Structure formats: C-alpha cells, structure tokens
C-alpha cells in the first residue's frame, strides 16, 4: 500500500469510529464529511482573517484534490463558527500555542499560513518541523534571509513548499505565458504591469505597519506586478531602478504608498511596474514585435478579461483561482506534477523587492540582479 493510500485508509478508519459515536446527533454532517475526504489531502488554514474567510475556505469547498481539514486561530470565538460551517472536528482545531501538536494529526497533510507577513517564517518553519507540507501566503516573508530559513526548514523536514501565488494557476495568466513562449506575436519588447488599490480605513491595520508587513504597496500588491513582468517576458530581470511617491504621508506613515520601477530583461526587453496603496490599477500589457496582449483586469480574483491585437478575446470560464492553486499543489504532492509556485519563486521575488527598496534608498540607482532562471517554472 502506498503512503497516500495508507493514509487515506487510516483516515477512513478513524472517521468510521468517530462517526459511530456522533452519528445519532449529526448524521448529515458525518455523511458529508466522509465522502468529501476520499483521496483528498487535508489542509489546515493558519489565520482566519479576510483571505481565509472570503477566498481560501470557499475555494476548498469545490476542490478536487484537497479539503479544509483543520484550522489554527488565535480567536476562540471563531472556532465554533468554522467547525459548524466546514464540518471540522474539534480535534483538528488549534491555536497559536498548541499548533505544534498538529504533528500528531494525520488528517492534516498541508498547513497553509495566512497570517501577517512578519509571521509567515515562524509558522512555516513550525509547520515544516511538524512534518506538514507548507503553503506560505505572499509575500513569502519580510526578507530574503527569512525566505531562506523557510526553504531550509522544508528541505530539512523533507516536505514540499509552495507560495500562495494564485495567479500561477489562473488560465488567463497561463494564456499570456503561452503567447510569450510560442512567440505567437513575435518577440516580447516591452511589458507594463500595474497592481494597486486605494487603501483607507483603520490606520492601525497591520498592512500599514512595517513591523508586521515588512513594507507597503510593494510587499502587498507589487509582488503581483513583479510576477506579471516576469511571466510577460518569460525571463527574470537583470536590473531594476525604482522611485517612491508619497502624497498622503500622514496616513502612510510607516509603509510605502506608491512605487514605480523599471526593469531590464535580457535581449533589451524593458519592463515597467506600478504599485500603490493609493491608486486603483490592475493591468498587464505585453508588446511583442508583431502585436500585443492585454489582461485588464489582471490581478484580482476574477473574472479576469483579456484581448490580443488581432481582435481575439482571451476568455475562460470563471473558476476560483484559490481552488485551482490548492489543487495544483495537492496534485504536486500526490503525483509529483509541477509545483507552479515553489519557494524559490517567492525568494526570487523578495530579492527583487529588496533591490527596489535599495534603489529607492539610493535615489533611483540601477541595481543589478543576478537571478539566472531562479523561480522560472515551465508550464509545458
Ligand atoms: P487579515 O488582517 O484579514 O487577517 C490576518 C489574520 O491574522 C487574522 O485572522 C488575525 O487575527 C491574525 N493575526 C494574528 N496575529 C496578528 C497580528 N499581530 N496582527 C494582525 N493580525 C494577526 O489579513 P489577510 O488579508 O487575510 O492577509 C493574510 C495574509 O494573506 C497576508 O500575508 C496577505 O498578504 C495574504 N493575502 C494574500 C492574498 C492573495 O491574493 N494571495 C489576498 C489577501 C491576503
């Protein structure tokens, strides 16, 4: 019996026993729970904030290869609500203190860390030490050094690591990659990518505090624009120069408000990046030698939209990007298929983020990058 099959078998056995005791109270819940789990990997979400609540947990409901098996929360009042809504047994509920006990829980195969950025490294490392595969939300951490500690911990523990880059599993994004790869419109000459939104409201939110976020717009939305520049050219940048704009310093006291950056790619290709917490922007434009392709909107949860210079509409049925992303990672674990967002990709983007901040500190100086093919994942 393979490891996966043994685990599925023991899971079924375990639920059968628990089911006997609970059947009289919750027959429907147990029936639903058991059928849902067949051959699927169990995911535990760590941090039940807006992204887990609004996107990840709903995305898991229809996932084919994984399901929501557990939760880790620092807010006791959320436990009952989540247990009821997603049919999660009490034994699969943890808090930040007893989280390490998850090592003993065979229901949980993957731990998905969805906490403020400065907490990613600690919880990813604890998850790896517990022997669980890891998905780390973007940005992967608050520094390249922290990315290294996560990658090292996963390697040491022999577990798989992925970053929460949902766009890497999105069909629109993959269509752009295909046009670039197949040179449908010739060679790429210029890419422009924007990712921003107007942030208002609670000035105490963690995203506006450097100690928790590691930075502002660039750390939050800028990583999407970095990613689109890279899949819009099919290569990593060889240098970057950047500028910061501040129009509301009283609100954006501690983190960057708006950043622009210019990247040079091999063969004279140029990339432009815009990211902001004070302007709506959500577009990728790729200029080829014989035409162009555009996604607009490009980085939101969808439905996305796109077109090319020959009048073709880029259109796919809308599916949860988060569902596709988590299913891709579960399949990677189960079958050895491609990991579309490996830790190396998250680290590469953090190297670019640090270079952008360095350039700003040095008045827009061009910073050379030596990334080679780091984090470039082939989709064919
Ligand atoms: P959120 O503020 O809605 O939730 C944060 C969660 O962390 C909450 O449950 C909160 O209780 C918990 N938490 C624990 N310690 C905390 C502390 N000291 N300060 C604040 N909260 C604390 O945030 P979110 O939007 O869910 O973002 C969480 C992570 O997910 C971030 O890394 C973010 O970048 C990422 N994210 C990714 C996407 C995506 O599209 N991939 C979208 C949204 C968020």
Instruction: Please give the distance, rounded to the nearest whole angstrom, from the Cα atom of residue 115 to the centre of ligand 1.
Output: 4
The Å distance, Cα 181 to ligand 1 centre, comes to 35
DSSP state of 24: T
Calculate the CA 42 to chain-centre distance.
18
Integer Cα distance of 185 and 288 in angstroms:
6
| Ligand 1 binding site (Cβ under 6 Å of any ligand atom) | 47-52, 74-75, 114-117, 137-138, 164, 166, 206, 212, 220
**What are the backbone angles phi and psi of residue 176, rounded to the nearest 5°?**
-60, -45
pLDDT of residue 32: 41
Q: Is 138 a catalytic residue?
A: yes
Residues of the chain with pLDDT under 50: 1-36
Q: Out of 86, 165, 197, 224, pick the active-site residue.
A: 224
98 three-class SS: coil
Residue 242: count other Cβ atoms within 10 Å of its Cβ. Answer: 27
pLDDT at 380: 67
* Chain centre distance of CA 242: 24
Which residue's CA is the closest to the ligand 1 atom numbered 31?
116
| Ligand 1 atom with minimal separation from the 51 CA | 26
pTM of the model: 0.92
Instruction: Quote the tokens at residue 290.
Output: 């014989």
Nearest to 244 by CA among 262, 226, 260: 260
Catalytic residue at 251?
no
- C-alpha 177 – ligand 1 centre gap (Å): 29
Position 379 scores a pLDDT of 77
- Cα 52 to ligand 1 centre (Å): 8
Distances (CA, A) of 163 to 33, 104, 147, 189: 28, 24, 11, 29
Half-sphere exposure of 264 (CA within 13 A, CB side): 12
pLDDT at 5: 34
């Amino acid at each position: 019996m393979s490891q996966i099959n043994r685990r599925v078998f023991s899971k079924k056995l375990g639920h059968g026993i628990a089911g006997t005791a609970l059947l009289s109270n919750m027959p429907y819940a147990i029936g639903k729970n058991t059928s849902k789990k067949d051959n699927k990997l169990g995911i535990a979400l760590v941090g039940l904030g807006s992204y887990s609540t609004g996107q990840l947990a709903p995305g898991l409901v229809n996932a084919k290869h994984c399901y929501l098996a557990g939760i880790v929360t620092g807010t006791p009042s959320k436990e009952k609500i989540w247990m009821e809504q997603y049919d999660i047994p009490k034994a699969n509920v943890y808090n930040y203190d007893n989280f390490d006990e998850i090592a003993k829980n065979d229901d949980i195969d993957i731990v998905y860390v969805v906490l403020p950025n400065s907490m990613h490294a600690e919880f990813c490392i604890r998850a790896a030490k517990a022997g669980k595969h890891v998905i780390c939300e973007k940005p992967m951490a608050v520094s390249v050094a922290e990315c290294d500690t996560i990658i090292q911990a996963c390697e040491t523990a022999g577990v798989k690591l992925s970053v929460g880059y949902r766009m890497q599993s999105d069909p629109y994004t993959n269509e752009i990659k295909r046009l670039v790869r197949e040179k449908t419109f010739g060679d790429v000459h210029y890419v422009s990518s924007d990712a921003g939104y107007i942030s208002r409201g609670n000035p105490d939110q963690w995203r506006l505090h450097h100690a928790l976020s590691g930075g502002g717009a660039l750390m939050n939305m800028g990583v999407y624009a970095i990613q689109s520049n890279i899949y819009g050219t099919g290569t990593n940048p060889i240098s970057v120069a950047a500028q910061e704009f501040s129009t509301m310093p009283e609100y954006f006291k501690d983190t960057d408000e708006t950043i622009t950056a210019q990247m040079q790619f091999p063969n004279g290709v140029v990339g432009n990046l815009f990211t902001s917490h004070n302007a709506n922007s959500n577009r990728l434009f790729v200029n080829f030698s014989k035409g162009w392709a555009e996604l607009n909107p490009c980085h939101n949860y969808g439905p996305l939209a796109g077109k090319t210079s020959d009048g073709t509409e880029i259109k796919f049925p809308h599916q949860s990007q988060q569902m596709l992303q988590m299913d891709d990672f579960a399949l990677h674990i189960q079958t050895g298929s491609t990991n579309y967002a490996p830790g190396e990709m998250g680290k590469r983007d953090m190297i670019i983020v640090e270079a952008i901040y360095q350039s700003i500190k040095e008045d827009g100086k061009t910073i050379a990058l030596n990334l080679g093919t780091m984090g470039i994942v082939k989709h064919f």
